[in-house]
Chain A
Amino acid sequence: MGEHLQPIANAGSSSQLATLLAHAEAAAHLRDQKSVAVVLQQLETLTSKESRANDSAAPIEIRAWVAFTHGDLKDAVALLKPLAERQAKIGKGEVEIPAREMLADMLLQRGKPAEALEQYRQSLSSDPNRFNALLDAIEAAKQ
Chain B
Amino acid sequence: MSPWISALLVIPLVGAFGVACTPRSKPDLAKELAFVVSLVTFVASIAMAFQYDTGATEQFQLVEDHAWIAQFGVRYKVGVDGAALALILLTTFLTPIVLLASWRQEAKVKTYFALFLVLETGMIGVFAALDLFLFYVFFEAMLVPMYFLIGVYGGERRVYAAVKFFLYTLFAGLLMLVSILGLYFMSRQQAGAIGAAAQGTFDYEKLLNLTMSSGTAKVLFLGFFIAFAVKVPVFPFHTWLPDAHTEAPTGGSVILAAVMLKIGTFGFLRYAIPLFPSAARYFATTMMVLGVIGIIYGSLVAMVQKDVKRLVAYTSVAHLGFIVLGLFAFTMQSGSGGVLYMVNHGLSTGALFLVIGFLYERRHTRLIEEYGGIQSTAPLLAASFLVAGLSSLALPGLNGFVSEFLVLVGTFARHRVLGVVATFGIVLAALYILIAYQRTMTGPITNEANRDLPDLSLREKVVIAPVLVAILALGVYPRPVLDLVAPSVDRMLERVHTREPAPSLAEETGEDKSVQIGEQQ
The yes or no verdict on A and B being binding partners is no
Using a CB–CB distance below 8 Å, which chain B residues touch chain A? none
Using a CB–CB distance below 8 Å, which chain A residues touch chain B? none
